[in-house]
């Protein structure tokens, strides 16, 4: 760092991704490099980096889904903090999203960082918790039987998934369809009753992990919820499974704990900046998407 210099805020490009991942990895959040590549693939224009003579000293990664955007990471390198670099990056990203007509921007923050986002008109919505499970993924005999539904073919149309997800989560169907079109789930388990989708559980496979969610299930018993998890175990690779759970959903947490998940980090705060109503997740939402809406 050179005294008196100010990093330039520029759009994140493919050559920056290795340095971006290095800063993300230092936070020990469990992200993979392939996920940084996915963020850039999903939205190559909304993320920014702070550059000092070619070195990435700060970053804000973001995915614009249409009317709703999700900020995934906000990081400033040690030694560069306290110089409003994070604020400058946020100003740049939010101004760009506003110019495109994005009406809601969401992110997950550590509790001690929530006040930083007040200056950008974000408000605290609810808490979420991060659960994780290492393999093996044992499925007790008979546990995956019952009203768990059926696995959907990988070419299932995004619009048929977006509507029930929208009804469950409150996100707009067009934003969900947009995200699912760009990044289809690898494994989908759905339950349909009387012509309606009453449960849907998605999973995506990375290099070392499976990201589980979004997941909703109407009127569940814990046995039914556990059966969906165990059914998913039979279908996904034997890798670590990560899942984000609404903090208010005690049944979701007890279900995951019963299935061998452990709490990796609790008290993460869901905050939102929106010109339209955005509500906490209802009790039918058991898990949120790993990359925002998806």
CATH number for the domain including 45?
3.40.630.30
Confidence of residue 254 (pLDDT cuts 50, 70, 90): very high
Confidence of residue 140 (pLDDT cuts 50, 70, 90): confident
Q: Is residue 115 part of a domain?
A: no
Same domain, 198 and 254: yes
pTM listed for this prediction: 0.94
Same domain, 151 and 60: no
Residue 4's pLDDT is: 60
How far, in Å, CA of 273 to CA of 294, rounded?
Answer: 19
Q: What does the pLDDT look like over 92-126, one tens digit per residue?
A: 999 999 999 999 999 999 999 999 999 999 999 99
Closest to 17 in 3D by CA, of 49, 64, 53: 49
Same domain, 283 and 170: yes
How far, in Å, CA of 69 to CA of 216, rounded?
Answer: 21
Confidence of residue 28 (pLDDT cuts 50, 70, 90): confident
Q: What is the domain range of residue 269?
A: 130-287
Confidence of residue 139 (pLDDT cuts 50, 70, 90): confident
Residue 198's pLDDT is: 96
Which of 52, 82, 102 is at the close of a domain?
102
**Mean pLDDT taken over the chain:** 95
Long-range contacts of 255-261, Cβ-Cβ distance < 8 Å, separation of 24 or more: 255/222, 255/225, 255/226, 255/229, 255/286, 256/131, 256/133, 256/229, 258/222, 258/226, 259/133, 259/226, 259/229, 259/230, 259/233, 260/133, 260/137, 260/138, 261/131, 261/132, 261/133
Domain count, the chain: 2
Is the pLDDT confidence value at 90 over 60?
yes
Query: Quick check: helix, strand or coil at residue 202?
Result: strand
Number of residues that this document lists for the chain: 294
Is the pLDDT confidence value at 1 over 60?
no
Q: Is residue 234 part of a domain?
A: yes
Same domain, 140 and 48: no
């Amino acid at each position: 760092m050179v005294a008196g210099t100010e990093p330039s805020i520029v759009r994140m490009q493919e050559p920056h991704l290795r340095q971006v991942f290095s800063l993300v990895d230092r936070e020990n959040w469990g992200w993979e490099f392939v996920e940084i590549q996915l963020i850039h693939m999903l939205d190559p224009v909304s993320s920014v980096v702070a550059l000092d003579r070619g070195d990435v000293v700060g970053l804000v990664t973001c995915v614009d889904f249409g009317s709703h955007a999700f900020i995934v990471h906000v990081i400033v390198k040690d030694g560069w903090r306290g110089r409003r670099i994070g604020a400058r990056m946020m100003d740049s990203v939010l101004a760009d999203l506003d110019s495109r007509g994005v009406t809601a921007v969401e992110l997950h923050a550590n509790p001690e960082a929530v006040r930083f986002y007040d200056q950008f008109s974000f408000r605290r919505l609810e808490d979420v918790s991060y659960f994780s499970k290492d393999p093996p993924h044992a499925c007790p005999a008979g546990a995956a039987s019952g009203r768990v539904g059926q696995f959907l073919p990988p070419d299932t149309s995004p619009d048929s998934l977006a509507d029930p997800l929208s009804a469950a989560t409150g996100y707009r169907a067009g934003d969900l369809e947009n995200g699912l079109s760009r990044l289809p789930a690898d494994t989908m388990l759905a339950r349909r009753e009387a012509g309606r989708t009453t449960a849907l559980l998605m999973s995506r496979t990375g290099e070392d992990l499976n990201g589980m969610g979004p997941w909703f299930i109407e009127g569940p018993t814990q046995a039914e919820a556990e059966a969906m998890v165990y059914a998913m175990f039979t279908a996904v690779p034997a890798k670590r499974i990560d899942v984000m759970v609404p903090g208010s959903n005690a049944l979701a947490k007890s279900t995951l704990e019963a299935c061998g998940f452990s709490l990796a980090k609790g008290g993460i705060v869901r905050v939102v900046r929106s010109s339209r109503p955005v509500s906490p997740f209802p009790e039918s939402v058991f898990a949120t998407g790993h990359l925002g809406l998806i």
